[in-house]
Amino acid sequence: MQLRLINRVRLSVFVILLLGYAAFGPLLFGLHIVHLEFLGIFTLLNLVAIYALLPFFMPWIAERDIREIQSVLTGLKQGNFRVPIKIAPEPHDPDDENELNRLKRDIERMRAGIRTREEMVHRQSERILSLNESLRREAITDRLTGLYNSRHFWERLDASLAYSRRHGTPFAVVILDIDFFKKVNDTHGHLGGDRVLARLGALLREHARETDLAARLGGEEFALILPATTKADTGAFLRRLRERLHDTEILLDDGRGLRITASMGYTIASDRELATGAERQGAGASSGQEILRRADEALYWVKRNGRDAVMAWEDLNPGEGTRDEPAAEQAAGRAELPAERQTESQSHPLIQAAAAAAAITHQASMQRSVSNETPQ
């Protein structure tokens, strides 16, 4: 049976009065004090007893329940929903229930509701995080090949460059282009071309390390970023990839098999080499575009010289990194390209930028020669 707070207080006071009567009654009667004086002294002694003994009844009256409630509320503030709390069974008549026990029951219901909402919010948060991660992956992934897309490649290239400058570790950048891919599309259709692109993407994922990045820049052009890799290691890696590509037969939807080759150009980016490039080409040359231009230059050298090969930009540019090939030989090399490759090379943004810079330099030199020939 539960007792309400007021009844607990009354019972405690009654017990204290009984104790006072048992303790002080015989003493006063033994002193032969008159009746009125006895009542006054007896009342005063009982009040003192109530004041002194009532705190010892407080744990039973309310203090124990209040501490349990306080511990539960503290746990709720800290996100702990498992703090134990003792709740007496609910009586048939709600008016007979102790007020603190009713409060603990209400707090337990509130705690259960909060726990349910917290679990729901946690599940929703995990679902939102999962969706955000899926959207992020979709935004940086090429859907056909499963590799990263061009946007993410440029972000990682800039990050790799910044890391290389801070720690002085070189990294390799590779550009890979499928040979005669237009012929594949013309012969086997775009579905066949898609199958070739997807298979090459799978090969790149199989051969790349966890720290490497493989991306599809667009069309049949792919790129790799190989952190902490030397020129020799990069060349060996690309030669193994080239051999694996030779041994791989790509099955098309019509059951026919197809083998492809690829041209690969690469460069090793280090802080010293980038500083040399900046001094040679001016401010802003030490950037991801400069690195990609080097790899692209090596790739186009392979394209002009038979395709299906691996070439390092450093092998084309020994010493301080400038090309020793005369302009006439460059023009002859471009003339050996098929008509569609000449158009493609001329439309490439990096080649257009290089041609514009060369035209400006040529115009400036012509103006200087004219001014020198003009009589004073």
Catalytic residues: 220
Contact in structure between 259 and 249 (CB atoms under 8 Å): yes
SS3 327: helix
Contact in structure between 277 and 187 (CB atoms under 8 Å): no
**Burial letters for 227-261: b for 16+ Cβ neighbours within 10 Å, e otherwise?**
bebebeebbebbeebbeebeeeebebeeeeebebe
Q: Where are the alpha helices (DSSP H) in 141-179?
A: 150-167
Residue type, 127: R
The separation between the first and the last C-alpha atoms of the chain, rounded to the nearest angstrom, is: 123
Q: Which residues contact 260 (CB under 8 A, 6 or more apart)?
A: 178, 179, 181, 184, 196, 200, 245, 250
Instruction: Reduce the secondary structure of 4-42 to three states and give it as a string.
Output: CHHHHHHHHHHHHHHHHHHHHHHHHHHCCCCHHHHHHHH
Bridge partners of 176, per DSSP, are: 222, 264
Could you count the other beta carbons within 10 Å of the beta carbon of residue 188? 19
